[in-house]
């Protein structure tokens, strides 16, 4: 049985979000607002099908995908660039490669104890987020 990420998760730490957003070309004013946010993730996992809904007081972002099936991602409300994205398992880690204009773009989710971890990558920047169950 694979690990189950399902649940509602609240952000408790957010390391180098500023660097990640700068690598994505997010403007100064938007970065100042965005780095104050404490987003919540609602993850639904049903076999190989996932939905990850990231919500905040400023912007929301909803992603749906199936493991191993490449999809068009629009990053609407984030940097608005389109990517060809693919999510796969690497042991108990969920790995997304977001191929497009930005090199080395992607993310990894895993569970550690009771916490949900997320590494967000773009170019040479890595943002590390940790979430606890709501």
Q: Give yes or no for a contact between 88 and 99, defined as CB atoms under 8 angstroms apart.
A: no
For residue 1, the minimal CB distance to ligand ECB (Å) is 21
Which residue intervals of the chain are DSSP H helices?
Answer: 17-23, 28-34
Q: Which stretch binds ligand ECB (CB under 6 A): 5-13, 57-65, 81-89?
A: 57-65
Collect all residues with Cβ–Cβ distance below 8 Å to 78 and sequence separation of at least 6.
24, 59, 61
For residue 110, give the H/E element and its range.
strand 106-112
Binding of ligand ECB by 60 (CB under 6 A)? yes
Examine residue 130 and tell whether it contacts ligand ECB (CB under 6 A).
no
Asked if 59 is part of the footprint of ligand ECB (rule: CB under 6 A), the reply reads yes
**Interacting residue with ligand ECB among 56, 81, 115, 125 (CB under 6 A):** 56
Phi, psi (5° rounding) for residue 106?
170, -175
Residues engaged in binding ligand ECB (CB under 6 A) = 21, 24, 26, 30, 34, 37, 39, 41, 52, 54, 56, 58-61, 63, 78-79, 107, 118, 120
């Amino acid at each position: 049985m694979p690990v189950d990420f399902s649940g509602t998760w609240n952000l408790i730490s957010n390391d180098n979000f500023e660097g990640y957003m700068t690598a994505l070309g997010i403007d100064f004013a938007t970065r100042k607002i965005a780095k104050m946010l404490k987003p919540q993730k609602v993850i639904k996992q049903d076999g190989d099908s996932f939905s990850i809904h990231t919500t905040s007081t400023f912007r929301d972002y909803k992603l749906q995908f199936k493991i191993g099936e490449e999809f068009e991602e629009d990053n609407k409300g984030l940097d608005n660039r389109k990517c060809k994205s693919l999510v796969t398992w690497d042991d108990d880690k969920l790995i997304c490669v977001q191929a497009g204009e930005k090199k080395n773009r992607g993310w990894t989710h895993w569970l550690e104890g009771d916490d949900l971890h997320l590494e967000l990558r773009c170019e040479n920047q890595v943002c590390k987020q940790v979430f606890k169950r709501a």
